Structure 1
């Protein structure tokens, strides 16, 4: 078996693995979705910075489809500094279960998109 044949076999195997994880996500206008909180400067995720902090806020309503992978959403006035068009991979379908809804009021967004880190405790130090 030649090197090119082995490379093609490996490439097709990796494509099969990748295709298993790909989800075809499309949304309709007037549908409710959650918005994933990305770790950018200026957005404090509910006062926590660890792995236990909440990751989605919403639900928000989709207004229209801009391109096949981007959707325009209606955001509340408090989030007016955020661009209203989002990629499909940071949206999550809303199923109507009230138990896991995260209120967007608790997101602290500064005007200049900067925040200060506060020291909680000093664990170790060098002399």
Structure 2
């Protein structure tokens, strides 16, 4: 209750206004089929060709914000979550929607186990210098 004796909603912040719950942004979904590819360091890249997300009525403002951020430069899932001040799980669902609609694609970094061993690279460099 507030000072006037009226009951206040706990979903309202005087400075921020009404709070939108994360599940409302994802329409109640907590994961996406492509979520297995969306770890924190996966890079989200905007497609250079295709429809303008602003004209697609099925996209939320958060979807459009993600595409706009990725147009400037590829962004990791963690960077998007930080920039938009959204939980990572919500960003994963939204990015999955954008992948399905072909507004963005995801580049996964090479896992450390698949990178060549440093000693092999040194041997190659030494071999090239010997030529």
Instruction: Give the TM-score, by structure 1 length.
Output: 0.29
- Determine which structure has the larger strand proportion and give its number: 1
Instruction: Give the TM-score, by structure 2 length.
Output: 0.28
